[in-house]
Amino acid sequence: MAWKATSLIGTQFKLDIGGTPLLLEGCKSLTAPPGSRPVSEWTPIQSTTQKYKTGRKAYGAASGTLAWSPVDPSHIKLLALYNSAATANFELALTDNGSQALVWPGFVQQFGVTFPNEGVVECKFAIQMTGDAAPGTPTTITPSSTFDPAVSQGSTLLLWVTSAYVQIKGATNFDLQGGSRSTYPGTPIDALVATVVPGYMGQNKLTFDLLYDSTESTHTALLTSFNAGTPVNDKFTLQSTQSSKKIICDPVVIDSWAWPTAPGATTVKVGCTVNSTIAVT
């Protein structure tokens, strides 16, 4: 058979928990996890050539982007893995140039959701490898015929006040950047492969643009909270117009407030630190 570079067209990316593969629907891009080995020089002075020893193999993180749906089972599972730091198997199945796959264990290190002013809602994620990426036989899963990613048009940013959600009018470009779970070395000296273990989740960051209106109660409440340096004890909620599902961010601290510096609508750039756990309910 003549040599042929494998195309990523038709590639499927799956997560596997308990032996049941689940196609990660709407995956737009994926950077496969890199690996590395340290190299130590030990050239003695009498040698006329340099000498080296290779060290333990170390694992990197895969990163990718999804066209996101709050009701898709694979997206729900990906978020659950991020919140729990549980290890799963991940499979990159290549269907071009013969069936082949790369399978590796890992945990979800990062998860974030972006609502642009217009377009498809995107999820950016990262998966830390915890073992070798080994060749395997790919599983074949038929993509869902009903998968429909959320779009930003019509989405709302809500604030839970006392006993009800209140829309923050004039808010746009929501970006829940997602925290990154720290990793720690866990390699004993007798091991031949480097080991990483999941640590705590860093705080998430929510940013959005606000078409400011000094007569709008939610706008003045946010500004008052920022000026006073006090937490906003109520919940922020992001909701797509296509679903009743809500992304809950709780609690929230307003940590940046940038007034506009150019003519036009008074667009304030607001930044918030939110709880590390992301919930979709």
| Per-residue pLDDT tens digits for 240-258 | 766 778 888 776 788 899 9
- b/e burial code for range 36-63 (CB count within 10 A of at least 16 → b): eeeeeeeeeeeeeeeeeeeeeebbbbbb
Q: How far apart are CA 271 and CA 268, in angstroms?
A: 10
Task: Tell which residue, 79, 98, 100, 97, has the closest CA to residue 88.
Answer: 79
Q: How far apart are CA 202 and CA 168, in angstroms?
A: 26
pTM (two decimals): 0.84
Banded model confidence at residue 233, pLDDT cuts 50, 70, 90: low
Q: Where are the domains of the chain?
A: 12-35+56-139+149-280
Q: What are phi and psi of 81, to 5 degrees?
A: -65, -40
In this predicted structure, which of 30-34, 79-83, 110-114, 271-275 has the lowest mean pLDDT? 30-34
Banded model confidence at residue 88, pLDDT cuts 50, 70, 90: very high
Banded model confidence at residue 8, pLDDT cuts 50, 70, 90: low
* Residues forming a β-bridge with 39: 54
Q: Give per-residue pLDDT as tens, 177-216.
A: 877 888 888 888 888 778 888 888 877 889 999 999 999 9
How many alpha carbons fall within 13 Å on the CB side of residue 38? Answer: 8
